[in-house]
Each structure stands twice: as C-alpha cells, then as structure tokens.
Amino acid sequence: MQTRRLRVLGLVMILMLLLAACGGGGEEAEEGGDTGSEAAAGASEGDEGGGTVGVDAEGVQALKEQGTIRIGVKYDQPLFGVNTPGGVEGFDAEIAKLMVEGIFQDGDPESHIEFTEAVSANREPFLQNDEVDMVIATYTMNEERDQVVDFAGPYYTTGQQLMVPEGNPEGIQAPEDLNTGDLSTCSVEGSTSLQNFQELAPDAETITFDTYTKCAEAMNDGRVDATTTDGAILYGLVDEIGGFEVVGEEFSDEPYGIGIPDGATDVRLYLNERICQIQESGEWDQAFEDTVGVVSDTPEPPTIDPAFGDQVFPEGSECPQASETGGTSSEAASEMTSEPAAGTSEAAS
Amino acid sequence: MNPITFLIDNWDLYIDGFIRLFRAANLAFVFAMVVGVVIASFRVSPIRPLQRFAAFYVTVFRNTPLLIIFFLFFFGLPKLGFTFTPFVSTVIVMSLYTGAYLGETVRSGINSVDSGQAEAARAIGLNFREVLGTVVIPQALRTVVGPIGNLYIANAKNTVIGTTIGLFVETTAAQRLANSTGQPIAAFAGAAIFFVVWLLIAAQVFTSIEQRVAFKR
C-alpha cells in the first residue's frame, strides 16, 4: 500500500520536473522575443529620427538611466578578470570601464559599474534572464552562442596554443603530435579550447579540470604532457607559476566579444562604435599594456566584424568596416592602423 | 530547446558520463560499507587504541570539506610518490568519506540493539568478534537501512565532486554541451534527469529492503 503510494509520488515528481524544464524553455524564448521586438522598434525609430544613433540611441539611453551597468566578468582568469580586494582587475575589466565611460562620460566609470562573477556556464542565462546588461568574460564569439545572445566586438583576438613543460621533452609542436593514446592533454571542462582540441586530435587522451591552475599542477607532477587553451591565458600561467613554455603556432581564432541580450541592436551598434573609438584613441593599447601586456607584446587591435549581424556600426559612423574594405580581417586591420580615420574626434563626441 | 530532444540528441555523451558516475558511486559505496562496519566495530570494541583511532578517523573525514579531501588526495599524494587515476582516486576518496558517515550510522544501530542480546551471546561462550559479527551487527544494520539509503543518495551526488579532479561524469557532459550549444539550462536539466531516475529507483530499492528486513519490537 505504502509502496504504491510512493511509486505514484515518484512518477508525479518526474512529471513535474519535466514540465518545469519545458516551461522554463518556453518562457525564455518569449522573453528573448520581447526584448528583440523592443530593441528592433527602438532601432527603427532611431533610423526615422535620423540623429538618434550611437550613445543617443534609445537602448543605450535606457542603460544610462539605470545609473549603474551590471557587467559579468571572470573573477579567476589571470590577466583578464581577477577579483582582488581593490576591485576586479584585468583586460576585461579595463574594457568594461572604457565602455561605461563612453556612456556616462563623467570620468568615473567605476561608480557606474556593478561587477558580477560570470563563469563559462552561466554567461548565456545571465543575459537571457536580465541579471546582467553585458558579459565581458573572455567570451568567444561563435554562431551557436549568437543564436541566444548578441555580440559586440571582437575587442581582442587570441588563438589556442599548447603549453608543455620547460624544455619540451616530448617535442610537441602541434595538436597532431598529441593525437595518440600515449600522451595526455589537459584543458578546462566545458571550454571552447577543449572542443577545438578534440576536433583536431580526436584520438588524444584528455583530462579536464575546472581551472587551468590544476592543469599546471598536474603537469608539474608529470601526469599530463601538455595543456591547451587560448595563448593569452597560457602566458598568464607561465608568468604566474613558471616551469612551462608555450610552443607551436596558434591553431584557432578566438575572437573575444561583449555579450549582450539577444536583439539589443542599439547597444550592439553603440559598443562596436565605442570599441573602434578606444582603438583609435590609444586607450585600447594602454589597457592592453597594463594587463595582458605584462606577458605578451601588444598586438594590432582586431577589426570589429561581428560575422553574425548585418549592420556593424551606427549610421554616420566614421569607423572602417571590414565588409566595406572587402579584404580579409588582417588586411583590414593593417589598413585601419596605417591610416587612422579622419573623423575620430567627431565620432568620439 | 526542449530538454527532452536535447537529451536524445546528445544521448551518447550523457550515457557515457552517467555510466562512469554510476560505477564510481556504487563501487565507492560498497567499499564505504566495509569501512563503515569496521569503524563502527572499532568504536564499540573494548580496545582503547582502536576506539581512539575510529573516533579520530570519523572526526577528520566528517569535518573536512569533501572538495579539499579530493584536492589533497589527487594533487598532494603524487608529491609523496603515490599517483592514482581520477577514477581510482574518486572511488577511494568517496569510500573513505562516506565510510566515516556510515560508521556513525552503524554505531547508532549497534547502540539500538538491546544490551541483553550481547550479554546472552557472551553467556553462551561467543567471543567479542562473534558477538558483534553474528548477533549485534546483523540486527544493527536492519534498524538503519533507512539512514543508509540516505547516505547512498548523498554518496551518489557527492561523487560528482570527482569532476574537480578530472573524472568525466554526466554533469561534465552537461558542461561540455552548455559550451558547445550555448544552452546551459537544457544541458543541465538533461543531466538532472539521470539523477532523478537513478535516485528514485534507489530510494525504492532501499524502502523495499527496509520493509523486508524490518522486525517488530
């Protein structure tokens, strides 16, 4: 008798879970749709008005009226986002300050930012559930993610590399060298690096942890032969722990973008314009030199080219567009730096 | 996306993780039962050093966060020359950890057995080991099937912490899918379904064992 009652209870619980799961998905889709239509309406009004673009656009003004902008950053990513007693430090945090300064223009961006810790798995839900306004957290722009959120940028492009013990005892130069069962490679679970690596070296033995420092620790113990992730992060580990070296060429493109809610077109156009401004003004170089620059030379800033949106900059923008130059992104980047756009100061105002 | 279709589309990855978790958790629980009975016997034994050792063991494992035990075991022992794979490490750590809790549970079961039982057993000439092994512990275990079932469920969920030392389980599969598909909610809901089904069945099994072995007092 009691057993039967329990069995029924069990079934009811399973059903409730399934219903809750399905319901959750549905609500999200609706929410996403709402934001999308609002933002689209805002954009079209802006176009009619003619002058309301960039920082004056409705979506950006709405952020300004909030007074503080909620930004998701990593708290444990050396060089990009590290939570210290003095606040969040790193390149992502610097980019966040520069973006927010563009909106408020009062010289005190930190008072308008509320940082929240973002880990890789909660970045999309944060944006979908309106818990943050932006995610700047070593967030690689890709097509799957673009279906649920929108991206501005990239503000930085890195590539995946391999890190091995100093002296490179196994002579590893490329992922193919690790494509045997004899050598093991370490990465962080649920990272794009792991996904890329497994595609390039499907037979490789992989071991995954939750942080890269554990990979470094396991490498020190001789348990793994190589660690793979974005070059900038590997250089951070070499700098912090030592006893390793980064080998071989970059074997992927990781454009880091600013994640924003799906359909927030005004904000996306504004942020792209703002990234372009800080690249032209040298603030980008300064932010890089102060953070990632400690372990790596300052590269050319990336060309802003979100492959997933048709319009990159607000109308009337002076920023060079990759699609207009028609070249590859590297060509476009060199063009941009060799002849700075004439109207930089206008665009900045 | 609907979590059910999501689950079906990525079934292979989930089931691979689930099988590993299932094996690790069940192996660990079997060893933990052995550890628990041994520790409980030590605690009620007349030999003082064994009592002290058992009390110390339980104190250490109950008061140290599991995450730290995992970390020290996996990253600390290699410094002393002992290296285990993530799977073996997880089974050992979980056996020791759940064993401490089971030890306390079994001890409370032993305390619930009427002292007349042990006295009668001694009166017919059984030694300490026989009194405990053939008279007291079988009765003790019967009374604590319910709490042991709770520990089985806790053990199953705690085993997931093995992911921090590189064990691949279904939540790792979920993490991987969350990244590659950009749909973390569907990915983790998929992993949760495995737990719910597994642990509901486990609860049922323990309930029926409890009913079968229970005796009226």
Q: How do residues A149-189 score in pLDDT, each as one tens digit?
A: 999 879 998 889 999 999 888 888 888 889 888 889 999 88
Question: Which chain B residue is nearest to residue A7, measuring alpha carbons?
Answer: B204
| Two domains, one topology: A35-44+52-158+254-348 and A160-247 | yes
Q: Which CATH number fits domain A160-247: 3.40.190.10, 3.30.70.2190, 3.40.50.300, 3.10.110.10?
A: 3.40.190.10
Distance of CA A285 to the CA centre of its chain: 18
Residue B126 backbone dihedrals phi, psi, to 5 degrees: -80, 145
In this complex, do A10 and B204 lie within 8 Å of one another by their Cβ atoms?
Answer: yes
What is the tens place of the pLDDT at every residue in A87-105? 898 899 999 999 999 888 8
- Beta-bridged to residue A228, according to DSSP, are A162
Q: Measured between alpha carbons, how far is B167 from B93 in angstroms, rounded to an integer?
A: 13
SS3 of residue A282 by DSSP: coil
β-bridge pairing A81-84 and A87-89:
antiparallel
Q: Taking a C-beta distance cutoff of 8 angstroms, is the pair A74, A138 a contact?
A: yes
Does the pLDDT value for residue B138 go beyond 70?
yes
Give the whole-angstrom CA distance, residue B82 versus residue B135: 40
Residue A284 is inside which H or E element, if any? Answer: helix A283-290
CA distance A28 to A172: 45
Which of A2, A208, A213 should we substitute to test contact with B (largest number of B Cβ atoms within 10 Å)?
A208
Residue A9 touches partner B, C-beta closer than 8 Å:
no
* Best A189, A192, A193 residue to mutate vs chain B (most B CBs within 10 Å): A189
Sheet with A76-77, strands from edge to edge, namely: A76-77, A81-84, A87-89
Interface ipTM > 0.90 = no
Residue A82 pLDDT greater than 50, yes or no: yes
A8 touches chain B (CB under 8 A): no
Three-class HEC string of A183-203: CEEEEECCCHHHHHHHHHCCC
User: Does any CB of chain B come closer than 8 Å to the CB of residue A3?
Assistant: yes
C-alpha to C-alpha distance for A123 and A111, rounded to whole angstroms? 23
**Whole-Å CA distances, B43 to A151, A202, B27, B31, B97:** 61, 51, 24, 18, 17
Determine the residue of chain A that is closest to B202 in CA distance. Answer: A10
For the domain A35-44+52-158+254-348, what is the CATH code? Answer: 3.40.190.10
Which of A139, A221, A224, A262 is most worth mutating to test chain B (most B CB atoms within 10 A of its CB)? A221
Mean predicted confidence (pLDDT) in B146-165:
94
Å from A135 to nearest chain B CA? 14
Label the pairing between strands A160-165 and A226-230.
Answer: antiparallel
What was the pLDDT predicted at A35?
A: 41
CA distance A130 to B99: 44
Q: Kindly report the pTM of this predicted structure.
A: 0.70
- The pLDDT, as a whole number, for residue A331 is 39
Query: Residues in chain B whose beta carbon is closer than 8 A to a beta carbon of chain A?
Result: 1-4, 75, 78-79, 83, 86, 163-166, 168, 172, 175-176, 178-186, 188-189, 192-193, 196-197, 200, 203-204, 207-208, 211
Nearest CA in chain A to B210: A3
β partners of residue B180 = none
Q: Which residues contact B161 (CB under 8 A, 6 or more apart)?
A: B66, B67, B70
Q: For B86-109, write each residue's pLDDT tens digit.
A: 999 999 999 999 999 999 999 999
- What pLDDT is attached to residue A39? 42
Does residue A206 carry a pLDDT above 70?
yes
pLDDT digits (tens, 9 = 90+) for A295-321: 777 788 888 775 666 677 777 666 765
Taking the CA of residue A192 and the nearest CA in chain B, the distance in Å comes to 7
Per-residue pLDDT at B83: 87
| Record: contact B184-A124, CB cut-off 8 A | yes
**pLDDT top residue among A72 and B81:** A72
Distance of residue A94 Cα from the nearest chain B Cα, in angstroms: 25
Say if CB A238 and CB A11 are below 8 A apart.
no
Q: Cβ of A144 and B182 within 8 Å? A: yes
> Which chain B residues contact residue A125 at CB under 8 A?
184-185
Task: Please indicate whether residue B215 or residue A167 has the higher confidence score (pLDDT).
Answer: A167
Closest chain B residue to the Cα of A221, Cα to Cα = B78
CATH superfamily of B15-170: MetI-like (1.10.3720.10)
Reply yes or no on whether the pLDDT at A19 is more than 80: no
Q: How far is CA A294 from the centre of its chain?
A: 20
What is the pLDDT averaged over residues A50-76? 79
Nearest to A226 by CA among A216, A237, A235: A216
Q: Over chain B, what is the mean pLDDT?
A: 91
Domain map of chain B by residue range? 15-170
Q: How far is CA B85 from CA A1, A319, B30, in A?
A: 46, 53, 19
Q: What angle do CA A110, A145, A68 make, to 5 degrees?
A: 20
Q: Are A179 and B216 in contact (CB under 8 A)?
A: no
Going from N- to C-terminal start, the domains of chain A cover 35-44+52-158+254-348, 160-247
Asked whether the predicted pLDDT for residue A276 surpasses 50, the reply is yes
Instruction: Compute the distance between CA of residue A201 and CA of residue A185 in angstroms, rounded to an integer.
Output: 10
Instruction: Inspect the interface and report whether the beta carbons of B175 and A18 lie closer than 8 Å.
Output: no
- Give the residue from chain A lying closest to B77, CA to CA: A221
A198 interfaces chain B, CB cutoff of 8 Å = no
Query: Of B3, B75, B168, which is closest to A22 when you measure between CB atoms?
Result: B3
